[in-house]
């Protein structure tokens, strides 16, 4: 979830990836999400999104961004991750 007013990216991944990928791929997915979370704590959220959109658009289907307002970003991220990652 991207907060443009603070240029921050909040990233949530699955608890485990073994149910959707073989062992090697699950390890890579977990590592990728962890790295994105680390990058998002110190880097520009907009820059991270731009990099992901330009490098992944050829192999991953990306949809348009959806604007929403939230008073509690952490709770909103939890709700979105429950809806989309379960």
pLDDT digits (tens, 9 = 90+) for 6-54: 999 999 988 889 999 999 999 999 999 999 999 999 999 999 999 988 8
85 has a pLDDT exceeding 90:
no
pLDDT score recorded for residue 21 = 93
Residue 75 lies in domain = 2-85
pLDDT score recorded for residue 58 = 76
Helices (H) and strands (E) in the chain, counts: 3, 2
**Rounded CA gap, 79 and 83, in Å?**
6
pTM reported for the whole predicted model:
0.79
Task: Please state, in angstroms and as integers, the Cα–Cα distance from residue 62 to each residue in 4, 25, 59, following that order.
Answer: 19, 21, 9
Domain count across the chain: 1
pLDDT digits (tens, 9 = 90+) for 54-84: 888 777 777 788 898 999 998 999 999 988 8
Tell me which of 64 and 3 has the higher pLDDT.
3
pLDDT score recorded for residue 46 = 93
């Amino acid at each position: 979830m991207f907060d443009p007013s603070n240029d921050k990216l909040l990233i949530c991944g699955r608890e485990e990836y073994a149910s959707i990928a073989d062992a090697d791929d699950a390890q890579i997915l977990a590592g990728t999400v962890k790295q994105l979370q680390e990058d998002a704590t110190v880097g520009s959220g907009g820059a991270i999104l731009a990099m992901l959109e330009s490098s992944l658009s050829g192999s991953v289907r990306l949809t348009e961004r959806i604007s929403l307002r939230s008073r509690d970003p952490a709770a909103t991220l939890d709700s979105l991750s429950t809806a989309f990652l379960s």
